[in-house]
Chain A
Amino acid sequence: MTRIAPGWGFVAPALCVIGIFFVFPALAGLGLSLTDFDIYALANLRNLRFVGLGNYAQLLTAPRFWQALGNTLYFVGAGVPLSIGVSLAAALLLHSRLTRWRAFFRTALFAPVVTTIVAVAVIWRYLFHTRYGMVNYALGHLGIAPVNWLGDPHWAMPTIILLAIWKNFGYNMIIFLASLQAIPDELYEAARTDGASWLRQLRHVTLPMLGPTLLLVSILSTAGYFQLFAEPYVLTQGGPLRSTVSVLYFMYEEGFKWWNFGTASAAAFLLFGLIFAVSGLLIRVTRRWT
């Protein structure tokens, strides 16, 4: 006779909740992605067609989807390293013995994380206004011609990246700060006794000790940045020329604007697969490193 381990009893409630609110909807979504569920199917289920992998094939041959994917990769590729770099730099500055009013700066730099994106977007729209924006005004003093930040397809994504970095770096900064404080002082003392410069201390003491934190932060950031949505939604509505349409924004348009739930679900699963693969790759690469 086999006995059910009592552990199962303890995790059962949590498993039930996960099953009902996560596993089941995810499976339903997977099923949906194999059909052409749309507004007509909503009216009458006789209008539902099973299309197999048709939605996936259609997405993978649609230039619109590849453009959205390209925009997302651009955002992740430029945004994640820059954002981690800025977070780390800010954390190092705050951690430095020379910094005064540490608590004040920590709060100030963290503030963008907790402000609402909609309020931020309104301010940024004014800052980056072509004719009246402060950014172009300042650039004008340096002799740089006004840039159409949000209206030029080449500049809109960099502006969004800038916004995302500014908005999010405080979060990672706090994580870095916590793990910087956990590095024992003796290591630095030993390094200094050996005559290591500040740069060498950073390279050989700080960064290796931050290794696990770096991995965590880069996985979290990558997964988060892949799900770019709110910034283009409030700032550019995907324009100009769809240059700020991310995969998630594409999915939103398909699903909630045009009610093509089949295609939208397929896009969601493609994005899920992508995030899964990239995160797995990150873990594998860092494992080989250390």
Chain B
Amino acid sequence: MLRRLLGVLLILLSSGCSLSSEPQTVTFWVMGREGEVISELLPAFLQRNPDVRVRLQQLPWSAAHEKLLTAFAGETLPDLCQLGNTWIPEFAALNALADLDALAARSTVVNRSDYFPGIWETNVIGGRLKGVPWYVDTRLLFYRRDLLERAGVRQFPRTWAEWEQALAAVKRNAGPDRYAILLPINEFEPLLALALQQDDPLLKDGGRWANFASPGFRRALELYAAMFRNGWAPLVGAAQISNVWTEFGRGLFAFYISGPWNIEEFKRRLPADRQNDWMTAPLPGPDGPGYSTAGGSSLVLFRASRHQAAAWRLIEYLSESAVQVQFHALSGNLPPRRAAWQDPRLAGDIYARAFREQLERTRPAPAVPEWERIATEMQSTAEQVVRGNLSVDEAIRALDARVNAMLEKRRWMLARGGVS
């Protein structure tokens, strides 16, 4: 009797374990606009995975970095998170991210070969996969077709030489109060894109030393400075252009290096009679179509998470091309995988076409935690060249010295055997 009772109890217990419909709760931090639209994508996931609940938390971009680091220090990180891909090296150095190699190898959805190579690479730190690209952000040219035509530019420039000719022609035609291109002096992305087009890397020896004295970076900086010196670009920061879209419509500048979010903005904000006058195009390179930056956001799992399997299912769901197309429709964000781009909604978008082409030619920035600071330093040094306070030679020397000083701790730690 007792034995039977025990047997029943055991069966109950074991079945209780396997059936245990105690749902797991996955905490998911999302930033900015993505945080608003993600709630529309979740119901389908929850329906397919009744054993998972998702607790969503929205962070503003401006506070996200600080909040994540504070959460790391306080051991209150979520299970998964959207992470700007320039932050991945930093959180990898903190040893906060889970390795995804094994999960991705087994996955039928996250298929490496379908992703744009430059974007995928930003997620690989020290040979290990630390995130899955969620959407991409690269910079290319928005331009005014009518202004180029009026300046006599028949063929869109593919090389730097052609681009310079086009810029000069547009400026000649525009007069002293208008410009050929807008390069906000506080944004480092345009100069970074020019620098990434070169064969020389920006840091050398495994990110131990600066490499700004390379001929490649010098060429990029010279072109950048020439754009201001020749009067092609106005010397302003983003804060001084009160409204980029209005000014673009008015023809203050004909070229603007910017990212995918501006497709929707220009569609919405330019007057109806201007809508046929603008287009997007890939960046010209030193001798032929050029590379650009590989920005965007990835989805990462944190090591400390106790719901990694469930969180990975959510990553897989968000990586499905159908979901990515839906995500694009909701947010305007561009998908990182080629399959999603075959959808007519994306393939048919004439403004997105240039991005599709550019995405095959992106290069990641150096994957070191110090990168954002280095990029800021690079831009503020370039600003000094543009304002005539430093020559290109002096700037490169100063930049190399400062960046080498920033990397001192990294060198010390690598010498001791590893960053984390």
A contact set with B: CB distance below 8 Å = 36, 38-40, 42-44, 47, 49, 125-126, 129-130, 132, 148, 150-151, 153, 235-237, 239-242, 256-259
A126 near B186: Cβ-Cβ < 8 Å: no
* Bound-state Cα–Cα, A242 to B384, Å: 10
How many residues of B are counted as interface, with CB atoms below 8 angstroms from the partner's CB atoms?
29
B94 near A239: Cβ-Cβ < 8 Å: no
> Which listed segment binds A: B231-239, B263-271, B272-280, B358-366?
B231-239
Partner of A39, one of B369, B384, B412: B369
User: Is B95's beta carbon under 8 Å from chain A?
Assistant: yes
Across the interface, name the chain A residue whose C-beta is closest to B420. Answer: A43
A241 near B240: Cβ-Cβ < 8 Å: no
Residues of A within 8 A of B66 (CB): 256
A241 near B389: Cβ-Cβ < 8 Å: yes
Across the interface, name the chain B residue whose C-beta is closest to A42. Answer: B73
Partner of A151, one of B235, B369, B420: B235
Q: How far is the CB of B109 from chain A (nearest CB, A)?
A: 31
A42 near B235: Cβ-Cβ < 8 Å: no
* Bound-state Cα–Cα, A91 to B369, Å: 53
User: Is B299's beta carbon under 8 Å from chain A?
Assistant: no
* Bound-state Cα–Cα, A36 to B405, Å: 13
* Bound-state Cα–Cα, A256 to B67, Å: 11
A36 near B389: Cβ-Cβ < 8 Å: no
A241 near B387: Cβ-Cβ < 8 Å: yes
A259 near B69: Cβ-Cβ < 8 Å: yes
A39 near B236: Cβ-Cβ < 8 Å: no
Across the interface, name the chain A residue whose C-beta is closest to B252. Answer: A131
Contact mask B376-420 → A, CB, 8 Å, 1/0? Answer: 000010011001010000000000000000000100110000011
A236 near B419: Cβ-Cβ < 8 Å: no
* Bound-state Cα–Cα, A186 to B420, Å: 76
Residues of B within 8 A of A237 (CB): 186, 239
User: Is B174's beta carbon under 8 Å from chain A?
Assistant: no
Across the interface, name the chain B residue whose C-beta is closest to A58. Answer: B405
A40 near B419: Cβ-Cβ < 8 Å: yes
User: Is B242's beta carbon under 8 Å from chain A?
Assistant: yes
* Bound-state Cα–Cα, A43 to B242, Å: 41
Partner of B93, one of A43, A130, A150: A43
A132 near B94: Cβ-Cβ < 8 Å: no
Partner of B94, one of A42, A150, A151: A42
User: Is B185's beta carbon under 8 Å from chain A?
Assistant: yes
Residues of A within 8 A of B93 (CB): 39-40, 43
Across the interface, name the chain A residue whose C-beta is closest to B369. Answer: A39
A42 near B72: Cβ-Cβ < 8 Å: yes
Across the interface, name the chain B residue whose C-beta is closest to A149. Answer: B240
Which residues of chain B from 162 to 219 have a CB within 8 Å of any chain A CB? 185-186
CB-CB under 8 A for A241 and B384, given A258-B373, A259-B69: yes
Q: How far is the CB of A10 from chain B (nearest CB, A)?
A: 36
Residues of A within 8 A of B242 (CB): 125-126, 129, 132
Q: How far is the CB of B253 from chain A (nearest CB, A)?
A: 13
Partner of B239, one of A36, A125, A132, A256: A125
* Bound-state Cα–Cα, A101 to B84, Å: 56
Which residues of chain B from 44 to 99 have a CB within 8 Å of any chain A CB? 66, 69, 72-73, 90, 93-96
B369 near A150: Cβ-Cβ < 8 Å: no
* Bound-state Cα–Cα, A148 to B240, Å: 9
A239 near B237: Cβ-Cβ < 8 Å: yes
Interface CB pairs A-B, < 8 A, 16: A39-B90, A39-B94, A40-B409, A43-B93, A43-B94, A44-B95, A49-B412, A129-B242, A150-B240, A235-B239, A236-B239, A237-B239, A239-B237, A241-B387, A241-B389, A258-B373
Known: A129-B242, A130-B236. 6 other contacts (CB 8 A): A39-B369, A42-B94, A49-B412, A240-B237, A240-B383, A242-B380
* Bound-state Cα–Cα, A49 to B384, Å: 34
Q: How far is the CB of A163 from chain B (nearest CB, A)?
A: 14
CB-CB under 8 A for A43 and B95, given A151-B240, A239-B237, A241-B384: yes
Across the interface, name the chain B residue whose C-beta is closest to A126. Answer: B242
Which residues of chain B from 257 to 312 have a CB within 8 Å of any chain A CB? none
* Bound-state Cα–Cα, A44 to B420, Å: 7
Residues of A within 8 A of B185 (CB): 239-240
Residues of B within 8 A of A241 (CB): 380, 383-384, 387, 389
* Bound-state Cα–Cα, A133 to B51, Å: 58
Q: How far is the CB of A66 from chain B (nearest CB, A)?
A: 15
Residues of B within 8 A of A49 (CB): 412
B239 near A38: Cβ-Cβ < 8 Å: no
A-B pairs with lowest CB-CB distance, top 8: A43-B94, A151-B240, A258-B373, A43-B420, A151-B236, A129-B242, A43-B95, A42-B73
Across the interface, name the chain A residue whose C-beta is closest to B370. Answer: A258
* Bound-state Cα–Cα, A104 to B185, Å: 44
A129 near B240: Cβ-Cβ < 8 Å: yes
Across the interface, name the chain B residue whose C-beta is closest to A254. Answer: B373
Q: How far is the CB of B329 from chain A (nearest CB, A)?
A: 33
Q: How far is the CB of B248 from chain A (nearest CB, A)?
A: 14
Q: How far is the CB of B242 from chain A (nearest CB, A)?
A: 6
A130 near B383: Cβ-Cβ < 8 Å: no
Q: How far is the CB of B243 from chain A (nearest CB, A)?
A: 10
Q: How far is the CB of A25 from chain B (nearest CB, A)?
A: 16
* Bound-state Cα–Cα, A121 to B420, Å: 42
Residues of A within 8 A of B72 (CB): 42
Across the interface, name the chain A residue whose C-beta is closest to B387. Answer: A241
Across the interface, name the chain B residue whose C-beta is closest to A44. Answer: B420
B69 near A39: Cβ-Cβ < 8 Å: yes
B384 near A151: Cβ-Cβ < 8 Å: no
Residues of B within 8 A of A38 (CB): 409
Across the interface, name the chain A residue whose C-beta is closest to B95. Answer: A43
Residues of B within 8 A of A40 (CB): 93, 369, 409, 413, 419-420
Q: How far is the CB of B93 from chain A (nearest CB, A)?
A: 6
Which residues of chain B from 340 to 374 have a CB within 8 Å of any chain A CB? 369, 373
* Bound-state Cα–Cα, A257 to B66, Å: 8
* Bound-state Cα–Cα, A117 to B142, Å: 35
Across the interface, name the chain A residue whose C-beta is closest to B408. Answer: A36
Q: How far is the CB of B291 from chain A (nearest CB, A)?
A: 27
* Bound-state Cα–Cα, A62 to B192, Å: 26
Residues of B within 8 A of A240 (CB): 185, 237, 383, 387
Q: How far is the CB of A42 from chain B (nearest CB, A)?
A: 6
